Amino acid sequence: VAPTTPVCEVPSSAMTGTVVQLSCKETEGSPPSEYQWYKNGVALLEKTGTGSARAANITYIMNKKSGTLLFNTVTKNDTGEYFCEASNGIGLSQKCSVKRMQV
């Protein structure tokens, strides 16, 4: 079953240095969807702890299975427009509407 449009939860504002979690979920897809977060239209890298992700000074943890995007300490650099995409290899992937987070 193809995924439906996911529901994204993005805080509109956050204080610098706080923990912020963005979430993305859809329940119709079978097999379960994987989730990819985007910031300002660019796909976010999944942090693996090695290589380019660390070099890029990534400050978040993206879980493709649960759809969460967790910032341990947000900075002004994390301000931007976020959306997520759900896909499970069946039908078209689905995106939620873009939401702006101001840090």
CB atoms within 10 A of CB 2: 17
Q: What is the pTM of this model?
A: 0.89
H or E stretch at 54? helix 52-55
CB atoms within 10 A of CB 47: 15
Domain extents in the chain = 7-101
99: left (phi over 0), alpha (psi -120 to 50) or beta: beta
H or E stretch at 20? strand 20-25
pLDDT at 6 over 90: yes
pLDDT for res 8 = 97
User: pLDDT for 16-65, tens place per residue?
Assistant: 999 999 999 999 999 999 999 999 999 998 765 555 545 566 779 999 99
pLDDT for res 57 = 67
Phi, psi at 80, each rounded to 5° = 165, -175
pLDDT at 72 over 60: yes
pLDDT for res 58 = 74
CATH of 7-101, one of 2.60.40.10, 3.40.50.720, 3.30.390.50, 3.40.50.300: 2.60.40.10
